Chain A
Amino acid sequence: MARYAIALDYKNCIDCKACEVACKEENGILLGADKQRIWVGHAPIKGEYPFLDLTSNAFVPSQCQQCEVAPCESVCPTHATYYDENGVVRVDAEKCILCSYCMVACPYDARYVDDRTHTVDKCNFCSDTRLARGETTTACQATCPTKVRVFGDLDDPESEISQLLRVREYFTLKPHLGTNPKLFYLT
């Protein structure tokens, strides 16, 4: 039993997209920009010349936010989307009817149709690959050359992520929606 989360030191991201490749390789995700569990967004420069805010121009790696109150779980008519024992939001392909309601309800555009199973797929923190093998990192974390991601257990006060979140300021995406995301962007 754990409460897995990821902290992202996103300003270290260099947009090499190694995380996208590693995720596809590890989890057997099909090729194509629409078939991705994780991605790197480009935040545009804010302001108008000459009043440009250069610090706003950042790379923002993202994926399923692993919400504690996940809209995709609430709207699923067959409980195909569920929370596992580690608080990870996962999809049971056997039960998914491909109604796509979760795709419409997810505030983070984190879901897509997996053509391997013809069901809706999303990031599950490598739960059925690396974590199932007993490893303690996700593929995106392990491959990152600038160590943007730190994956770990929020319930363990000694975990690296818990220590980081104690000393660093962070924000979450769309906090006003009350979804309590478990992806923390360090500032």
Chain B
Amino acid sequence: MSIKEFITTIPYNRISIRDLFTFEKSPVNLLIALMTLSFLAMFALGVAIYLEHGHHAYGVTRQHPWGLLIAVYIFFVVSSTGLCIVGSLGDVFGFKDYMAVSKRAIFGSIVTIVSGFAVIAFEIGHPVTMVIYNVLSPGLTSAIWWMGTLYGIYLTFMVIEFVFLLRNDMRMARYVGFFGLMFGLLAHSNLGGVFGFLNARPISNGVFFPTYFILTAFITGIFITFIMLGLRYKLSFPEEIKKLLTNLAKIQALLISILIFFVSWKMLTDIYDGLPGRADVASHILGSWTFWIEVVLVMIVPLVVILRKTGSNLVAIFWVSLSGMVGIFFMRYNLVHDSQLKPLQMLKNTEYQLAPEWVSYFPSAAEIMISLGGLGLCVLLYFIGSKLFNLDADAHH
């Protein structure tokens, strides 16, 4: 079979632009539609400002070169890896109970990483040069090179896996899905390595982030699965989905417990005996409200809600998954900001100014607009996909 013939065998729904505006006009749906369109408009405006002013449109500085867009990129690619893990439970590892969400999760992993790429394209100063010299002059000691390259391969595998899932070719989906998952995990741990390799920044340096990224990706994937299925079934889940979500909720409780363990020991080892450059930064982080948002929304609230009814209170878990994603955003923002908190040049070098104690950063309007635009793009792509493809499990599942 030629590639052309193969493509014609991919099942999809023929839709027109008008179909995209055909949805139940409930207040929630209208709110989501309005927000999505607003975010897309902001994206266009943010990009226009960036194209006019370059990085001067952002709040980044010499001391804090990575800002909100890096955090949002990480937010999206973590989501993608997480959805890939959730999707792989059924079609790669063969857990039949999770087959029902495989197609939706794999499609979600594609739209989230595409949204992440859309955001990072306006943070990297020369994205076209990047594509050229990533190939012509690869920096093999650079975690960014490995991350970018592996994510590119990962995305390719995810698209092929999704096509096989659409064609209901579970055998090929399993093979391709295995490689997709493997490249996804490798790419994602390399993203952790981008921070872990920073010898100059003791708060980030070490093995913690490459492993923590995989754990938090899985947690993020389960949060998003709850959100996707909650919206799909309007919180009135059929029995098969109830069973799937209850099991996922129990896994989530375990993962969050491990996360609490990880973060507690990270903080303890950071602070213990006051190592300069690490203990002081960790103490500063503990005093910041953004860290506690992360703790409350990602760790405490979801864990308490899930454990209260051992994962059977699915509607409540849907809501804490939504707030959990807000917490996950703060988790990514904190990671990027906290890595740069400690000034590397400690001496005063400008007149009429004290030596810096902490590096401050606040995102600019352009950064916020592009970030929200990424979210709008993600929702739009997911909506189009849900119209274009059958994302529910096929009948035999």
Contact = CB atoms under 8 A, between A and B. Distances in A.
Interface of A: 33-34, 39-44, 60, 62, 71, 74-80, 94-101, 103-109, 111-113, 115, 118-119, 174, 177-178
Contacts of A34: 61-62
Contact of A103 (B65, B133, B355): B65
Contacts of B332: none
B55 A44 contact: no
B126 A71 contact: no
Interface residues of B, number: 42
A105 B200 contact: yes
Contacts of B62: 34, 103, 109, 111-113
A145 to B, nearest CB: 19
28 contacts: A42-B347, A44-B347, A44-B355, A60-B347, A71-B198, A71-B200, A74-B142, A75-B141, A75-B142, A75-B144, A77-B130, A77-B144, A78-B130, A78-B138, A78-B139, A80-B133, A99-B144, A100-B60, A104-B339, A104-B340, A105-B197, A108-B345, A109-B62, A109-B343, A109-B345, A113-B125, A118-B125, A119-B125
A101 B346 CA distance: 20
Nearest to A113: B55
A95 B137 contact: yes
A94 B363 CA distance: 29
B129 A95 contact: yes
A80 B143 CA distance: 15
Contacts of A62: 345, 347
Nearest to A20: B349
Given A44-B348, A75-B144, A106-B200, 7 more contacts: A34-B61, A71-B199, A97-B130, A99-B130, A101-B142, A109-B343, A177-B200
Max chain B CB contacts within 10 Å: which of A33, A78, A108?
A: A78
Contact of A79 (B55, B139, B197, B343): B139
Given A71-B200, A96-B126, A107-B200, A77 B347 contact: no
Nearest to A102: B65
Contacts of A60: 347
B65 A104 contact: yes
**Most chain B beta carbons < 10 A, residue from A79, A94, A115:** A79
B11 interface: no
A76 B129 CA distance: 13
The 6 closest A-B pairs by CB, nearest first: A98-B125, A41-B347, A107-B200, A109-B345, A78-B133, A77-B145
